[in-house]
Homo-oligomer: A and B are copies of this chain.
Amino acid sequence: MNLKILIADDHQMVSDGLAALIDAQSGMSVIGCATNGVDALAKAKQLRPDVVVMDVSMPEMNGIEATQEIHNRLPTIRIIMLSMHSSPEYIHRALQAGAMGYILKRSAGKEVVKAIEQVTAGKHFFSEAVAEIVVEQSLHRPAGVDAVSLLSARERQVLQLLAESHSIVRIAELLSLSPKTIETYRARIYEKLALRDLPQLVRFALKHGLTSLD
């Protein structure tokens, strides 16, 4: 069996590196790379990989949203999240979205290979530091009421786009919706998160990893 892998990372240098790493392994090969969430979803549909290795932070549609989408639409595809941070929040949301693995960029390259093997066998796989957090979370977590989870998927998406400097009109275009609709989402976001303006919204998005500096 030769596993088909799709890589999604906005830094092509990183994807190409991972691809080299994976292709050097027998039993698996990279069949495609995506550079953002939308692209990842499209390529997943088109290429039907066995496993997607997906970066958490990407422009347009972030890795967690993309995971959610892929998981909903193509539930047989296993998804491994790749992240710079071991923030409990990310991890929680990633798992909620349907990720089977969560590995850190700071860990060894072989981890990704191990992770692919594990999730293919239907098992979860986490980097060590992540595993601890997962356990801890499952212990004393009073049903995740982190602020982000108050938002609907659409609202999260709009939040991210707003934080990434897209204007209301531009977002409306990107999502093929009326600007007025986007305004409604923004109003709901402000309301739910008790924010008052764009700077606060940007800070919120950064704090909660919906977007990153640079």
Verify B109–A15 contact, CB threshold 8 A. yes
Partner pick for A163 among B24, B199, B213, CB 8 A cutoff: B199
Number of copies: 2
Partner pick for A14 among B14, B24, B165, B199, CB 8 A cutoff: B14
Partner pick for A207 among B14, B20, B163, B214, CB 8 A cutoff: B214
Residues of B contacting A207 in the complex (Cβ-Cβ under 8 angstroms): 213-214
Residues of B contacting A200 in the complex (Cβ-Cβ under 8 angstroms): 165
Verify B198–A105 contact, CB threshold 8 A. no
Verify B108–A13 contact, CB threshold 8 A. yes
Verify B12–A21 contact, CB threshold 8 A. no
How far is it, in angstroms, between the C-alpha of A196 and the C-alpha of B164 when the chains are bound?
Answer: 12
Partner pick for A11 among B105, B197, B201, B202, CB 8 A cutoff: B105
A54 to chain B: closest CB distance in Å? 13
Residues of B contacting A162 in the complex (Cβ-Cβ under 8 angstroms): 199
How far is it, in angstroms, between the C-alpha of A196 and the C-alpha of B103 when the chains are bound?
Answer: 36
Residues of B contacting A196 in the complex (Cβ-Cβ under 8 angstroms): 165
Interface membership of A148, Cβ < 8 A: no
Which of A81-89, A92-100, A149-157 has 4 or more CB atoms under 8 Å from chain B?
A81-89
- Give me the 4 closest cross-chain CB pairs, A-B, nearest first: A17-B17, A16-B109, A11-B105, A20-B20
A selection of 26 A-B contacts at a CB cut-off of 8 Å is A11-B84, A11-B105, A12-B106, A13-B107, A14-B14, A16-B21, A16-B109, A16-B110, A17-B17, A19-B109, A20-B20, A20-B21, A20-B24, A20-B109, A84-B214, A87-B214, A162-B199, A163-B199, A165-B196, A197-B198, A198-B202, A199-B201, A199-B202, A202-B203, A206-B213, A207-B213
Using CB atoms and an 8 Å cutoff, list the residues of chain A in contact with chain B.
Answer: 10-21, 24, 35, 82, 84-85, 87, 103-112, 162-165, 167, 196-203, 206-207, 213-214
